[in-house]
Homo-oligomer: A and B are copies of this chain.
Amino acid sequence: MTSETYAPLFGGIEGGGTKFVCAVGSGPDDIRAETRFPTTTPAETMERAVAFFKDQERVHGALVALGFGSFGPIDPRPGSPTFGHILLTPKAGWSHADVVGPLRSAFHVPIGFDLDVNAAALSEGRWGAGQNCDPLMYITIGTGIGAGLLVHGRLVHGLLHPEAGHLPLPHDRARDPFAGNCPFHGDCFEGLASGPAIEKRWGQKAETLPPEHPAWELEAEYIALALCSYIYTLSPQRIVLGGGVSQQPQVLQKVREKVPALLNRYIQSTAILERIEEYIVLPGLGNRAGVLGALALAEQAWRNQTLNG
């Protein structure tokens, strides 16, 4: 369509600890090119990303903005001396890496930079399962647990960014003697319910546990407790559950049963009392929420620049 042909084109990077996904396009229905490559050193990895976008510019014309949804922790505060940097991370070679710098040197366009979960929250709110939901909470449960929050249509950063995976939760050690594996907090939500926590508790990889294994009942209980905590604190209008663990169908079903049971009719909202399957949902963009989120970050940076200048 003509309107798409002339749509402003963005470049997006989903920067994960294992792989990078880069895309060029204007939105989910207009992706012109996409590539993925392993995360090696910061210099080499960013060079590949820059080369991909340069190649695409030769085919499709100039990109008007770039977006980068990164694994954390990062500094997403524009104006901060360490904006665009990865902070202290166990990933070898990446602590204090300036990942926005190489993009800024190669492209003279606005650059949006935020956490991967924030990018996913933004794209789910813009194009996916969280449209017109205020607040919208996007949670990923996999190797780690994190969340992105959209309130009044904008991402929440606060001090730096939320770290919703580290909630303190009730933990009945008589029922579940596993001490938790969070190096900072032991049995916080992530320490009890991440993929590696499941593996350590049961002695086998989470994805190899059969659907009827008691692991999933316990997992759903911790997720439901955390979701109740988020619901009390923030009253989100929808919760999107991303990440590998959430994709186990028995988990989603049990969470949808347990959340209303734990709330015990205290939150008098039909969203919870009558339509829980529309309230706690899987990502509408599937596993593309991340890279599309990077495009949404680019779009946001482009709009903000247009507004401010």
B233/A234 in contact, CB under 8 A: yes
Confirm or deny: A43 has a beta carbon within 8 angstroms of a beta carbon on chain B: no
A158/B237 in contact, CB under 8 A: yes
**How many chain copies?**
2
B167/A170 in contact, CB under 8 A: no
B134/A235 in contact, CB under 8 A: no
Q: Which of B161, B170, B237 contacts A159 (CB 8 A)?
A: B237
Q: Which of B73, B166, B235 contacts A157 (CB 8 A)?
A: B235
Contacting residues, chain B, for A230 (C-beta < 8 A): 233
Q: Given A168-B169, A168-B229, do A184 and B235 touch, yes or no (CB 8 Å)?
A: no
Contacting residues, chain B, for A231 (C-beta < 8 A): 159
In angstroms, how far is the closest chain B Cβ from the Cβ of A188? 8
B272/A159 in contact, CB under 8 A: yes
B266/A163 in contact, CB under 8 A: yes
Confirm or deny: A160 has a beta carbon within 8 angstroms of a beta carbon on chain B: yes
Which one of A31-39, A92-100, A148-156, A205-213 contacts B?
A148-156
Number of residues of chain A lying within 8 A (CB) of chain B: 48
In angstroms, how far is the closest chain B Cβ from the Cβ of A191? 11
B229/A233 in contact, CB under 8 A: yes
Most chain B CB within a 10 A radius of its CB, from A154, A230, A232, A266: A232
Bound-complex Cα distance A231 to B135 (A): 17
Confirm or deny: A88 has a beta carbon within 8 angstroms of a beta carbon on chain B: yes
Confirm or deny: A109 has a beta carbon within 8 angstroms of a beta carbon on chain B: no
B152/A134 in contact, CB under 8 A: no
User: Who on chain B is nearest to A188 by CB?
Assistant: B232
Bound-complex Cα distance A266 to B271 (A): 34
A163/B232 in contact, CB under 8 A: yes
Confirm or deny: A106 has a beta carbon within 8 angstroms of a beta carbon on chain B: no
In angstroms, how far is the closest chain B Cβ from the Cβ of A279? 9
Contacting residues, chain B, for A266 (C-beta < 8 A): 163, 166, 184-185
Bound-complex Cα distance A183 to B30 (A): 53
Q: Given A159-B272, A235-B158, A268-B88, do A228 and B151 touch, yes or no (CB 8 Å)?
A: no
Contacting residues, chain B, for A237 (C-beta < 8 A): 158-159
Bound-complex Cα distance A87 to B268 (A): 10
Confirm or deny: A51 has a beta carbon within 8 angstroms of a beta carbon on chain B: no
Show 20 residue pairs from A and B whose CB-CB distance is below 8 angstroms, ordered by the A residue.
A135-B151, A135-B158, A149-B234, A151-B151, A156-B235, A159-B269, A160-B235, A160-B268, A162-B232, A162-B234, A163-B232, A163-B235, A163-B267, A165-B232, A167-B228, A167-B229, A167-B233, A168-B170, A184-B264, A184-B265
A-B contacts besides A149-B234, A158-B237, A233-B234, 6 pairs, CB < 8 Å: A87-B268, A158-B235, A167-B232, A168-B169, A170-B170, A184-B265
